[in-house]
Amino acid sequence: MKARIALGVGLLLASLACQQQPSAPPAQKPPEKSRYFGGAPDGKLHVYFFDVGAGDAALIVTPKGNTVLVDSGPATAESHLVNRLPELLRRELDLVVLTQPDPKHHGALEAVLKRVGARRLMEPQLPDTSKAYDALLTAVGSRGVQILSPAPSTSAPKELVRLTLEDRVNLTVLWPRAPAEPLLKGAPDAEGRNAANSIVLRLTYDDTSVIFAGGARGETEARLLERGLLSPATLLKVASPYGEGANSQAYLEEVRPQVALLSGDDNLGKSPRVKELLTRLRGVDARVFRTDVNGEVHAVSDGKQFELSIQRPPPGEPAGTRHRFPGLDPRPPLQRTAKPVAAVKPAPTEPLPAVATEPTRVTEAARDSKARVSNVTDVDELPTARKNTRAEVPEKTARASTSNAMGGYRASKHKQIFHKASCRAVKLINPENMLSWSTREAALGSGRKPAGDCDP
């Protein structure tokens, strides 16, 4: 595969001065029509899940106005996105993330960039991609867009890549982690794409969070579960329900979203897999919204809760109704039915061929002087497994209803990771499964490792 490197092409613009007759009046240049019509930042996080048919496209707008487009939908979405995006933007996109080399996720990209522009693009840099996809990246780079890899830093390969979009707003790459960890060998589709190595993102703003699952498959979910990288999320952008093994019971119970968002066209509701998925989502008490039924979904967070409004409300629901979902999940602990994480075996892996070797760097400051897109050195630690150096009996079992008010560390007896007592994940542990330690050393002494979400 052709090596892909970060591209930053500076274009030299030359203007030709036309000679004028002395008696001729100076030429009047017509005013340039603005391509951006978005309003000023309002101090809240906005996420727009667009109705693009059978594909994915979502726009993140941070409280200070930084923007990230996660996928650009299929080619059939071009007309919609080139009209909708300028209504929401004040300037070119700060970052585009292509979660996978699938036309349903990038088909409208060229048209979008021609209309609104972008400064950076992150893509998974997978081997054996199609000539059409490689040509797309070449065209993107020729526009002066910097192309980034989600690879962990070579100086800290065990760390997760976390982009600080601005203070209190972070975008963390959960997968893939090549070359620090080999790519999954998930079965490719008819066009050779390996969706198991799709980019999976977690967006956080204080107590609220969103997981963008991209095209994750069962192998992806198993790896994330094994590594302890998943924790409860307010919103889940559901991976394609047609993916083999995707949206498993164990995965949904670990994420336990309050809201699940599905993208699709008119055929979405006809699939048996979708019907089975909807049953599993109801089993984890998730409220489901679908772009094929509800149209565009707009989620707004003040850091404490999300408010959702939908383009097409169901019969009997007044237009403009807002659905509220608190960041700290008030629901009672889930009675889990899935096997423990340790029983989930990830698929075999294969090494990543040499491609771009430089770690991801987002170095250019955002246009807003009070906001920034930082270097990817602000990271969550991916802890390594620690050997059980000494046995210790848990000091006491804490009830979930009071655990957040207590200090110390907590874990489920079915998990090999532990959390701070204040972590949101602790609220979902059944009281009869709760283990408690007063010190970090005692938790480590149990043979468990720190969770990747709250960094205990």
pLDDT in the model for residue 66: 98
Same-domain status, 300 and 442: no
Q: Which residue has the higher pLDDT, 15 or 443?
A: 443
CATH number, domain with residue 388: 3.40.10.10
Closest CA relative to residue 104, chosen from 191, 1, 183, 172: 191
Residue 375 within a domain: no
Whole-prediction pTM: 0.73
* Pick from 78-82, 155-159, 213-217, 390-394: least confident: 390-394
Contact 66, 58 (CB under 8 A): no
pLDDT in the model for residue 450: 82
Rounded to an integer, the average pLDDT of 88-114 is 97
Closest CA relative to residue 103, chosen from 59, 52, 151, 176: 52
> What is the rounded CA–CA span in Å between residue 46 and residue 78?
22
Closest CA relative to residue 415, chosen from 399, 401, 429, 405: 429
Residue 184 within a domain: yes
User: What angle (nearest 5°) sits at the alpha carbon of residue 340, between those of residues 333 and 239?
Assistant: 80
pLDDT in the model for residue 271: 83
How many independent structural domains does the chain possess? 2
Residue ranges of alpha helices (H) inside 217-271 are: 218-227, 249-255
pLDDT digits (tens, 9 = 90+) for 168-179: 999 999 999 999
Same-domain status, 305 and 421: no
* Pick from 121-130, 195-204, 213-222, 438-447: least confident: 438-447
Same-domain status, 262 and 338: yes
pLDDT in the model for residue 338: 56
Q: Which residue has the higher pLDDT, 290 or 393?
A: 290
Same-domain status, 418 and 296: no
Is the per-residue pLDDT at 309 higher than 90?
Answer: yes
Residue 429 within a domain: yes
pLDDT in the model for residue 62: 98
Residue 32 within a domain: no
* Pick from 19-23, 131-135, 198-202, 364-368: least confident: 364-368
CATH number, domain with residue 95: 3.60.15.10
Is the per-residue pLDDT at 322 higher than 80?
Answer: yes
Return the structure tokens found at 88: 């929401």
Residue 449 within a domain: yes
Residue 155 within a domain: yes
Return the structure tokens found at 429: 């542990």
Tell me the pLDDT of the chain averaged across its residues.
Answer: 79
Amino acid at 17: A
Residue-range definition of the domain harbouring residue 332 = 45-343
